[in-house]
Homo-oligomer: A and B are copies of this chain.
Amino acid sequence: MDITEFQKRGKEMVDYIADYFKQLEKRPVYPDVEPGYLRPLIPDSAPQEPENFEDVLKDFERIIMPGVTHWHSPYFFAYFPTVGSFPALLADILSGGIGCLSFSWAASPACTELETVMLDWLGKMLNLPEEFLAGRDGEGGGVIQGSASEATLVTLLAARTKMIRRVQSENPELTEADVMSRLVAYASDQAHSSVEKAGSIGGVKIKTIPSNDKFAVCGSALKKVLHEDRAAGLIPFFFCATLGTTPCCSFDRLLELGPICNKENIWMHVDAAYAGSAFICPEFRYLLNGVEFADSFNFNPHKWLLINAECSALWVKKRSDLTSAFKVDPLYLQHCHQESGLVTDYRHWQIPLTRRFRSLKMWFVFRMYGIKGLQEHIRKHVKLSHEFENLVHQDERFEICAEVTLGLVCFRLKASNQLNEALLKSINEARKIHLVPCHLREKFVLRFAICSRTVESVHVQFAWKHISKLATDLLKEC
């Protein structure tokens, strides 16, 4: 394919995507396919000779589309949003087009430098403490990770290295393995599964701290476990606090937890993967209070801030904590500027070496929406979740299962888990809207998350009527 054909096909692709968005409401949000549906539809092996673009695009519509879950559909209320936006998409096209990589400053200086400045912009939008910003001569700074899972892992590993060095400097007779065997990390019993995974990858114990009746971890709960673990000879080194848990969007009490972690020399990482975007609105910023005690903070602009995946923002107060945990520096990756204080080599901040030009989409979105436009988007979603909450409240058969703070409503029939499971099944099998469940303690709960960029009151009203009708049918059967 030469440049001229790319120009033609690229524009057809833009039209295809535009049409996709125009028709999106008409597509069933959740696909009606069985596992293994795709393999029989395509050949067993790649063709020897080239095929043409039209055929490939036709096959996309025929083979792929029927198996796609439509995350941008206004009838998609599952998981959490990954909304994206047209400015982000344009930036991604450009990033793919110039195709430069940025594992080191020299590999493409603009990639690295724009990322550092964009993370500063975003940090300021959230009113993050100055220490998290890179500025011209700060010790902190931000980096774009691929996902919150990686952010948690990277900070856990940095904390591990830091604690091993500290313990060894005080007890030179201990080996790294001796220390590792006593290290213990913590997170809420409501924390995301990726925290447990990070602990398991890092080869350290990870314990859950019981959350309270609001599904939040408070200081006393952490203190109790720390006390027991210290008595048993363990070395607490890392606590992952969650702001906006995945099951029900609850908030750990940073203002209680932070001082404890600081006093006990425990690295506090704050995971606000979903909720973080909301903190750009002054009225939700209070939820972030206490971040001043944290060593690192992460949230996913690719969830709720109109930036396409993959874009997870991580800040640390001391970037040397990350780089000293990961630095491996062969000659083919060195460059003459790297010892300058001005230079950031992001490969020392993350698991992968290679990375795309990801900050470009932040720049496009921040400028083309403006802070006001982004705030409007967040506020609209929060308003819609309260609208849904009110509808649930008005129906005596249902109950709200956790406080609605942002864009997620946890609800259920006042009935057995079995009946609620049946309700969810009937909702997803009808394929008009899509939801996923969670467990809150022993209860099976339905999660209604406001997700799409284009979702409006009319879709929320439709969803509720639909759920209500299915519930009526179900209750009749019983």
B372 touching A48, Cβ below 8 Å: yes
Q: Is the CB of A33 within 8 A of B109?
A: yes
Q: How far is the CA of A202 from the CA of B161 in the complex (A)?
A: 12
- Report the bound CA distance from A48 to B201 in whole Å: 41
Q: Contacts A14-B14, A351-B150 known; A100 to B85 CB distance under 8 Å?
A: no
Whether the Cβ atoms of A101 and B15 lie closer than 8 Å is: no
- Whether A351 touches B110, Cβ cut-off 8 Å, given contacts A22-B3, A35-B342, A89-B97, is no
In the complex the two chains form, what is the Cα distance from A48 to B282 in whole Å? 14
Main secondary structure on chain A at its contact with chain B? helix
* Complex partner residue of A56 from B106, B340, B354, B364, CB under 8 angstroms: B364
Q: Is A71 engaged at the interface, CB distance under 8 Å to the other chain?
A: yes
- Indicate if the CB atoms of A309 and B101 lie closer than 8 Å: yes
Indicate the member of A10, A42, A436 with the most B CB atoms within 10 Å: A10
Interface pairs (28), CB distance under 8 Å: A3-B21, A4-B18, A9-B86, A10-B89, A16-B94, A17-B97, A31-B108, A33-B110, A36-B113, A46-B124, A46-B371, A47-B367, A48-B370, A48-B371, A60-B360, A64-B110, A65-B110, A67-B109, A71-B100, A147-B353, A150-B352, A177-B181, A180-B180, A194-B353, A197-B328, A203-B203, A203-B204, A247-B331
CB–CB A99/B370 < 8 A:
no
Distance in angstroms between the alpha carbons of A11 and B190 in the assembled complex: 45
CB contacts (< 8 Å) of A35 on chain B: these are: 105, 109, 113, 337, 340, 342-343
The answer on a CB contact under 8 Å between A114 and B351 is no
Q: Looking at the complex, which one of B45, B124, B337, B351 makes contact with A153 (CB distance below 8 Å)?
A: B351
Say whether A354 contacts B310, CB under 8 Å.
yes
Are A51 and B92 within 8 A (Cβ)? no
A5 to B87, CA, bound (A): 10
Are A94 and B47 interface neighbours, CB within 8 A? no
Alpha-carbon gap, A328 to B200, bound state (A): 10
The reply to whether B39 and A352 form a contact with Cβ atoms under 8 Å apart is: no
Q: Which residues of B contact A53 (CB under 8 A)?
A: 87, 90, 368
Q: How many residues of A contact B (CB 8 A)?
A: 151
A134 to chain B, nearest CB (A): 9
How far apart are the CA atoms of A352 and B64 in the complex, in Å? 24
B90 touches A10 (CB 8 A): yes
Residues of chain A from 340 to 390 with CB closer than 8 A to chain B in the complex: 340, 342-343, 351-356, 360, 363-364, 366-373
Interface string of A114-139 (1 = CB under 8 A from B): 10110011101100000000001000
Contacts of A319 in B (CB 8 A): none
Of the candidates B10, B69, B351, B373, the one whose C-beta lies within 8 Å of that of A17 is B10
B3 close to A136 (CB less than 8 A): no
A272 to chain B, nearest CB (A): 16
Contact (Cβ within 8 A) A93 B96: yes
A155 located at the interface, meaning its Cβ lies under 8 Å from any Cβ of chain B in the complex = no
A169 at the interface (CB under 8 A from B): no
* Partner among B36, B105, B356, B367 whose Cβ is within 8 Å of the Cβ of A51: B367
Q: A79-B107, A86-B9, A124-B46 are in contact. Are A17 and B93 (CB under 8 A)?
A: yes
- Verify if A462 is at the interface (C-beta below 8 Å from B): no
- Asked if B149 contacts A1 (CB within 8 A), the reply is no
CA distance A420 to B302 in the complex (A): 45
| Nearest-Cβ distance from residue A306 to partner chain B, whole angstroms | 10
Kindly state whether residue A265 has any CB partner on chain B within 8 Å.
no
Residues of B with C-beta under 8 A to A110: 31, 33, 38, 63-68
Q: How far is the CA of A204 from the CA of B355 in the complex (A)?
A: 26
